[in-house]
Amino acid sequence: MKATQELHDLGQSLWLDNITRDLLDNGTLQRYIDELSVTGLTSNPTIFENAISKSNAYDAEIGRLTSTGLSGEELFFELALQDLTRAAEHFVSIHERTARNDGFVSLEVSPLLAYDTGGTISAATTLHKKAQRPNLFIKIPGTKEGNAAIEEVIAAGVPINVTLLFSLEHFLASADAYMRGLERRVAAGLSPDVRSVSSVFVSRWDGATSDKVPDPLRDKLGIAIGKQVYKAYRDLLASDRWQRLANSGARPQRLLFASTGTKNPKAPEDLYIRALAAPNTVNTMPEKTLLAFGDHGKVVGALPRDGGDCEAVLDSFRKAGIDLGQLAADLQTQGAKSFSDSWQTLLSAIDRKSKALQAVR
């Protein structure tokens, strides 16, 4: 049995952290579903920047949309929704078979809105309405402003993938926003069954500290953070507050482990996959990591319910001079900037292609 199937059988959803038109056109996505137990898909601005700016697969459609008067962000979202609604169709049967617990794809609002609550609310509701797919998450970053938007958007019934979370504090703040939105729905006599995932980024912790800590601590911080958040996730689901919501029909905001490709070329390719296997969670994997795990990965058991040795490991990093709170804030800021930079590169590439295609008409 492939490791991907073993991980699926353990209860963790395997999602592909990639989207390109070629994946859809040449049958690769369906093959990953059939052969590697993939049950969902995530995207982000960097993924789309690579897909569109480094390929000619979108050129014809860019030319067509340009001729209709579309440009910039509006044109991009047309392209993205075309891809993601097609991808969503591949997962419809999984979505239905799992009682809408799995089989999602994700589309992020403009990263330029990371610190704009009102703009995020407007963009998220508009994209959700336009997509008209029950298994499409709208991604919103878990910044302070993003959390305020999450509460409003969940209260409006829009399924959300909370992104750019790095720490226990980030996770708890976004979970609180999610539950506030659900509680408002209950108070209004509405169903609190609005699905969500909470995406905690893992490998960037190790990328940021590899040259600042002794060798024995390298590539251990991301896993320790993941274990710490997993314990909090399990504690939250056992809390009286959540149980009251569950009694009204709410379903858990599932924990998702993101950024699970290794940054250290000397580390095993399945380092984070193997260490963060846990039931009722999601691991979204870069394509290279998914293929490597399917080929020679190993499942060695599930995460301990109590987080195992995470606190001892985190203490070791603190003693090594790492300010975990400040680093979490820095990583979130850097992540938001990275997506914004990719966004600007993406829009510039679309603009160049649009002008070049117009010139040859």
Residue 334 token pair:
């850097």
The CA-atom distances, in angstroms, between 56 and each of 61, 107, 286, 317, 341 are 10, 21, 22, 45, 21
The number of C-alpha atoms within 13 Å of 100 and in the hemisphere containing its C-beta is 14
CATH 3.30.379.10 matches 3-359: no
* CA dihedral sign, ordered 146, 150, 156, 157: positive
Contact 49, 343 (CB under 8 A): yes
pTM for the full predicted model: 0.96
Compute the distance between CA of residue 74 and CA of residue 226 in angstroms, rounded to an integer: 36
Residue 27: the pLDDT is 96
- pLDDT tens string, the chain, 361 residues long: the values are 899 999 999 999 999 999 999 999 999 999 999 999 999 999 998 999 989 988 889 999 999 999 999 999 999 999 999 999 999 999 999 999 999 999 999 999 999 999 999 999 999 999 999 999 999 999 999 999 999 999 999 999 999 999 999 999 999 999 999 999 999 999 999 999 999 999 999 999 999 999 999 999 999 999 999 999 999 999 999 999 999 999 999 999 999 999 999 989 999 999 999 999 999 999 999 999 999 999 999 999 999 999 999 999 999 999 999 999 999 999 999 999 999 999 999 999 899 888 887 776 6
Residues assigned a catalytic role: 139
- Helix 45-53 / helix 324-359 crossing angle, nearest 10 deg: 30
Residue 254 φ then ψ, to 5° = -70, 140
H/E stretch holding 349 reads helix 324-359
